[in-house]
Amino acid sequence: MQIYMAPMEGVTNYVFRKVYIKHFSGVDKFFTPFITPHMKKGFSKSELMELNKEYNKGQYLIPQILTNSAEDFLKLADEIEEMGYSEFNINLGCPSGTVTSKGRGSGFLQDHEALDRFFYEIFEKKDNITISVKTRIGFSDYGEWDDLLKVYEKYDFNEIIIHPRLRSDFYKNNIHLPSFAEACNTFKQNIIYNGDIKTLDDVNAFKTKIFDEKVTGIMIGRGLVRNPLLAESIKENRETVCIKRTIEFLDDIVEEYMSLNFGERNTLFKLKEIWGMIIGDDDRYARILKKIRKSGGLKEYKTAINELY
Ligand SMILES: Cc1cc2nc3c(=O)[nH]c(=O)nc-3n(C[C@H](O)[C@H](O)[C@H](O)COP(=O)(O)O)c2cc1C
């Protein structure tokens, strides 16, 4: 089973991924956080870093694009192709209000005809690239999935990544496995499962519920940030958590940000977000998380981290 690291804006960015592959193994594919067409502005500095082949060396990296315009997609894909990419992922899952209100991300799932036209134009004009989608199962009603499946079925995606939640669920509420199972019966292509995998047990439980040879992989987001050893664990089929290796990894992330001149404040901001995901609402470490969040500089941050040993 293949393991993909989920794109997570602000978290699994170029720095995280670069340092990740120095410390851990097990991830087969990485995705950039979504990139939106920029029209006249050109790529931002961070987008250029996300896509820089030299900086991202050693990763099988797929650029993810967020748009509802075939014309903009084609133009952006051409530009990214020139940087050496030939595989693209389309974001049809982002639940953020600022994205969905413009009919993008999971907002695009509301207009099946427009979605169909979008894919038609892309596949008609671009036959030299590989395209996958990352999708939710609808906007606000499970009943939408049947029609969406009919649209997806028409196109030659190399794989379909499914997060079986509605937009209205955001990242909470239960996963809707019947919709995922329905996709397994419908699609001919490879299917990748995404959602709430946090431990090796979660993977094994998933496999007992869904066993279909078309499910060639799982994509993991929060679970891999919480325990960066999870991909290795799954590949080796033994649960491994090692706070020491996790801290060494995060120390290296600090160094990488500092070497890129992010400055102490911005670096700390990034680390606080990562620690928020690692500790989450685990009461045993709530006090330390509070200290991490309150730290005003890297020295104070390190003192807080040392309490974890
Ligand atoms: C902070 C954050 C940022 C995210 N950014 C993206 C993104 O840029 N593109 C995308 O397709 N999904 C994005 N996602 C969704 C994740 O890729 C993934 O689908 C979601 O976290 C569910 O998987 P998980 O339960 O394994 O975390 C984001 C999620 C979070 C929490």
Mean pLDDT confidence for 23-28: 98
Atom of ligand 1 nearest to the CA of 134: 11
Amino acid of residue 198: K
Whose alpha carbon is nearest atom 2 of ligand 1? Answer: 8
Whole-number pLDDT of residue 101: 98
> First-to-last CA distance in the chain?
33
CB 153 within 8 A of CB 182: no
184 is catalytic: no
pLDDT band at residue 39 under the 50/70/90 scheme: confident
d(CA 133, CA 135): 6
pLDDT range class, residue 308, cuts 50, 70, 90: confident
Give the chain's mean pLDDT.
97
Q: Whose CA is closest to atom 15 on ligand 1?
A: 8
Q: Closest Cα to residue 60, out of 22, 33, 30?
A: 30
At 274, list the tokens.
Answer: 């990562």
Q: Are strands 130-135 and 159-162 parallel, antiparallel or unpaired?
A: parallel
Distance 161 CA to ligand 1 centre (A): 12
The answer, yes or no, to whether any atom of ligand 1 lies below 6 A from the CB of 217, is no
Strands (E), the chain: 2-5, 29-31, 61-62, 64-65, 87-92, 130-135, 159-162, 190-194, 215-220
Indicate the fold that domain 2-236 takes in CATH: TIM Barrel (3.20.20)
**pTM (2 d.p.):** 0.98
pLDDT at 85: 98
Is the shortest distance between the CB of 95 and ligand 1 below 6 Å? no
Taking 90 as the threshold, does the pLDDT of residue 40 lie above it?
A: no
Q: Is the CB of 222 under 6 A from ligand 1?
A: yes
Task: Say which of 5, 94, 162, 254 is annotated catalytic.
Answer: 94
**What value does the mean pLDDT take over residues 130-158?**
97
